Structure 1
């Protein structure tokens, strides 16, 4: 399928999600439904529609080659899978069963059971290919270091001496020669019996026309059986009961062409992802070099302007925010100088209260020590 087809799948899935959200989150709260069957019908309908959405998003995510689109698709796909599990859990809690019957709903929606099968997402395997390969290599190294297991050693063939092996080979060879000799003698005996019978009967006499008729009959029967066998094979291939013979030509079947296209798209995805990551680094460095000085000057001007506005509003220059409070980021939160000054004063007052509490505690401890010293304790 073409790229536009998968984009259309994505568009249809988004449209269906919006419709389902309107149903699930209405503007006005609905009254609680008491009929158990009605609730199950609603949940089952939601479940089937989310399965269809999941199938479209999964196929789109597997074949779309744009890195930015794939990131957005992945978020929507993960959210759809999560919602699908939630609906399934609600159905299980309602029916107390893991298995449900959607015959009537499928009939109303004009769907088949194959349309609600949940495929395993292909990115589970393709995106973890390197991890799985590394895991196999590690397991192979561990097994190689451990050596053969106990079961393998038990299955090892019993060792045999050279004399026993020679004797075994001789026994089998003599038996083979004996069987051949017996077969040869049996054929000689049968041939002698046929010759005796032919001598007793005498030379056969057959009319040439009768002989020709017999030859024609046998030949025509052979040809007709061959034609019938070929026609039967062609009919079985035509109705799909038997796979057709492989044609030794360079023509590619539609299934093979579709599989090849999917593999090529996955290769293109990897190439585009590498280019995307490289472009992120390049663009970030370019912005830092080209626009960095201008951004720095703009931020410095904003900080100076903020200090001047604070001085005009309060009559003095404010303290620069500490790193713990956020530093210069506090100055860029679209707050007025008065608001920032009030926040800084509140934090200073809190710090002063904490210091005062610590001073009172230390004063109480020193008074206790003085009393103990007076009484000689």
Structure 2
């Protein structure tokens, strides 16, 4: 697509942003509202921001103009942050981490359920691609030095009985081929004899023609039938890479290459233009500011007969004493606040954001008496969206790019920005010189007055009152003399930092729940599907971890516990979080740290190294498999991993993760109900339980995987296969499919289509998810903090309803 296409898309997105922000601001203006009224409004806003994120990501990925891309990134990050804030508001309203998008908002906005699932911005990885690749390469090189080789396929080991069966089958096949060759030679000899005798009948040629015409007719009919089914969507086309999609991807890569060139030009221009301006206008600006300050000091002294004090740099310096209007200088003493209206507005907005952020995090939220009333938390991103969009409309929306067809930088815009920066830097230097001059003048003035016998009150030094001290305690650095590279290498050598397979979050196949909103309206809590789990991982883990700005201002989630049966996809989700954000993976699984950093001092060093390096190599994911083991009451004697080694320090590690740290602690567990629940939930902020795969998710998985493997055909009953697979996890089903579709079987697919019976027979050797395990997981889920809170709220609602009915009866 052309530059005009993306410019038009950006202008269209800007109009959608205006609509979304107007509706969003109306929610805050309305104040506390009924949850039943607020929930659909927030749900619609969430969908609007999701659509905006998708459009802005497309524009930011392909736009060439470097200065315009800066404002697009601001809009994209602000929309991502606002989406996460709305998600947390919906969690508070529904008292559930799951949000379902099957209400009227989809019909109103004319989108599908898959379009309202947040996309992962491409810049998370693209802008750090070289850094992520170098880290992966460094880990591989360190492991290679230590003698660790990538896992090789294990050799096939057969029992004696299996070997005999294979030899017998091959021998029978050999004898069959010989017998067929022998019969073929006999048939040729007979036909040769008939030709010699002239006894070839005309009926043989007719029979061959009839068979051949029938074969052609059946093939043509089958072809027309397949074309019709492809047309109406009853059958999927063969899995091949589309030429059009491949060409489109090549065009995108070409534009990304141009984008990088434009960015390099812009970066070089920033430095060169700044140097030119400093050399050309620096002395002039210095002289102008100094003359301006001296004139203002003289006028001030003439009026008050007192020498002024220049405010500190943090308070705005000399700019806080008067304003500059155009090219002329206005040195009149400002009767009101000397700060310009634009700057005061910005400082007020920043103070409001800071106070709202600190207030929400530090002060306990007072619950209203009416449980049906809810007030949305203050937003740290909404004003950013409005300001960035207004700036885009003022500068870029109606800017004519005809004179800049190649989308290069605008020199005049850089010069305006650099002049402001240079002026501020020079002003700070001049202010400091003037402070020294005023101090000398003040000393001379006092001395002169003392000689005349007059008493002068010395100006009192202003005591700077600092705000509240940060709660973050400065930790003692146990390795002050070591480089990041040496610490990184040590952790890789000890197996704490591990490489991980690159996995996309969208590879976690699963359908979404399409009756969630309807069931909630009827007073029932729906069971989430695998697609809902995928969306939850995006909203709680990937999106906040991918951007520093979002992480610092969005609601903080330090740790997540992912539970589920064996093969349900816990590790895949973990690897997807790391892959989508380019994170470094730290493995603190009890079995992995056995014998490493022994003793109490060794444990202190391990925790220090993990926390220090995880902050240095942000973003980072600290992982603990079998997260329930540190909190198990009784450890089996056969377990030699010492799982309780990190029990006391685990909560400390998680609490040591601050908003400025792009670090996430992820625990995975198959049997979380075996742990002490109080200690477990003290460590993990969010609990995500992967449910049993439903029919829709299993059917989608079979169709997707079989289609890619080229094994999907009309003879394969996918519905029957999905019913048979009901009690198995997705990981078990994928392993079964790999066992069935061997290399030999794949070659035979053109001759003999895959049947559901082949998969079912192989599946019968696998372990299903037993009903006892599902029951234990369901009972445990009702003990989680969020579910307890929901049950408590339902109980209160019932009690209030009962009181109302009793009062009405009286």
Q: Same fold (TM over 0.5)?
A: yes
- Alignment-derived partner of residue 366 in structure 1: none
- Alignment-derived partner of residue 74 in structure 2: 75
Q: Which runs of 5+ in 2 are unaligned?
A: 158-167, 323-330, 335-433, 443-455, 464-810
- Alignment-derived partner of residue 110 in structure 2: 110
- Alignment-derived partner of residue 484 in structure 2: none
The structure-2 alpha-carbon separation of the partners of 1:337 and 1:33, relative to structure 1 and needing over 3 Å to count, comes to closer
The structure-2 alpha-carbon separation of the partners of 1:245 and 1:29, relative to structure 1 and needing over 3 Å to count, comes to closer
- Out of 55-64 and 275-284, give the one that drifted further: 55-64
The structure-2 alpha-carbon separation of the partners of 1:96 and 1:227, relative to structure 1 and needing over 3 Å to count, comes to same
1:173-322 → structure 2 map (5 Å cutoff): 208-228=201-221, 231=224, 235=228, 241=235, 243=237, 253-306=243-296, 308-309=298-299, 312-313=302-303
Cα distance in 1 for partners of 2:31, 2:204 equals 97
Cα distance in 2 for partners of 1:55, 1:347 equals 65
- Alignment-derived partner of residue 134 in structure 1: 134
- Alignment-derived partner of residue 694 in structure 2: none
1:8-157 → structure 2 map (5 Å cutoff): 8-26=8-26, 29-30=29-30, 32-34=32-34, 36-97=35-96, 98-148=98-148
- Alignment-derived partner of residue 2 in structure 1: 2
Cα distance in 2 for partners of 1:222, 1:27 equals 69
The structure-2 alpha-carbon separation of the partners of 1:75 and 1:216, relative to structure 1 and needing over 3 Å to count, comes to closer
Give 1:213 shift: 3.0
Give 1:141 shift: 1.4
- Out of 254-263 and 120-129, give the one that drifted further: 254-263
Give 1:113 shift: 1.4
- Out of 299-308 and 55-64, give the one that drifted further: 299-308
Cα distance in 2 for partners of 1:259, 1:242 equals 23
The structure-2 alpha-carbon separation of the partners of 1:313 and 1:121, relative to structure 1 and needing over 3 Å to count, comes to same
Give 1:123 shift: 0.8
Aligned residues of 1:52 and 1:115 also touching (Cα < 8 A): yes
Cα distance in 2 for partners of 1:258, 1:80 equals 27
- Out of 107-116 and 296-305, give the one that drifted further: 296-305
- Higher strand proportion, which one? 2
Cα distance in 2 for partners of 1:76, 1:189 equals 78
Give 1:280 shift: 0.5
Cα distance in 1 for partners of 2:32, 2:76 equals 30
Give 1:106 shift: 1.3
Give 1:125 shift: 1.5
Q: Which runs of 5+ in 1 are unaligned?
A: 159-174, 354-377
SS of residue in 2 equivalent to 1:115: coil
- Alignment-derived partner of residue 349 in structure 1: 459
SS of residue in 1 equivalent to 2:111: coil
The structure-2 alpha-carbon separation of the partners of 1:140 and 1:245, relative to structure 1 and needing over 3 Å to count, comes to closer
Give 1:293 shift: 2.8
SS of residue in 2 equivalent to 1:113: coil
Give 1:255 shift: 2.4
1:328-339 → structure 2 map (5 Å cutoff): 330-335=317-322
Cα distance in 2 for partners of 1:95, 1:123 equals 32
- Out of 218-227 and 72-81, give the one that drifted further: 218-227
Give 1:268 shift: 1.4
Aligned residues of 2:300 and 2:308 also touching (Cα < 8 A): no
Give 1:127 shift: 0.9
The structure-2 alpha-carbon separation of the partners of 1:288 and 1:214, relative to structure 1 and needing over 3 Å to count, comes to same
Cα distance in 2 for partners of 1:188, 1:23 equals 81
Aligned residues of 1:51 and 1:84 also touching (Cα < 8 A): yes
- Alignment-derived partner of residue 170 in structure 1: none
The structure-2 alpha-carbon separation of the partners of 1:193 and 1:219, relative to structure 1 and needing over 3 Å to count, comes to closer
Aligned residues of 2:24 and 2:45 also touching (Cα < 8 A): no
Cα distance in 1 for partners of 2:71, 2:177 equals 80
SS of residue in 1 equivalent to 2:460: helix
The structure-2 alpha-carbon separation of the partners of 1:183 and 1:15, relative to structure 1 and needing over 3 Å to count, comes to closer
Cα distance in 1 for partners of 2:457, 2:44 equals 55
- Aligned-pair RMSD on alpha carbons? 4.9
The structure-2 alpha-carbon separation of the partners of 1:210 and 1:108, relative to structure 1 and needing over 3 Å to count, comes to same
- Out of 298-307 and 124-133, give the one that drifted further: 298-307
Give 1:279 shift: 0.3
Aligned residues of 1:61 and 1:70 also touching (Cα < 8 A): yes
Give 1:231 shift: 4.6
- Alignment-derived partner of residue 368 in structure 1: none
Cα distance in 2 for partners of 1:181, 1:23 equals 77
Aligned residues of 1:313 and 1:337 also touching (Cα < 8 A): no
Cα offsets for 1:280-320 (capped at 9, x unmatched) = 0110011112222322332343344345445645669x599
Give 1:261 shift: 2.0
Cα distance in 2 for partners of 1:15, 1:310 equals 50
Aligned residues of 2:53 and 2:80 also touching (Cα < 8 A): yes
- Out of 290-299 and 182-191, give the one that drifted further: 182-191
Cα distance in 2 for partners of 1:333, 1:140 equals 56
Aligned residues of 1:313 and 1:338 also touching (Cα < 8 A): no
Cα offsets for 1:112-156 (capped at 9, x unmatched) = 21331211111111111011111111101111121137x969x69
**How many residues are aligned here?**
322
- TM-score, length of structure 1 as denominator length: 0.67
Cα distance in 2 for partners of 1:214, 1:289 equals 98
The structure-2 alpha-carbon separation of the partners of 1:206 and 1:226, relative to structure 1 and needing over 3 Å to count, comes to farther
- Alignment-derived partner of residue 372 in structure 1: none
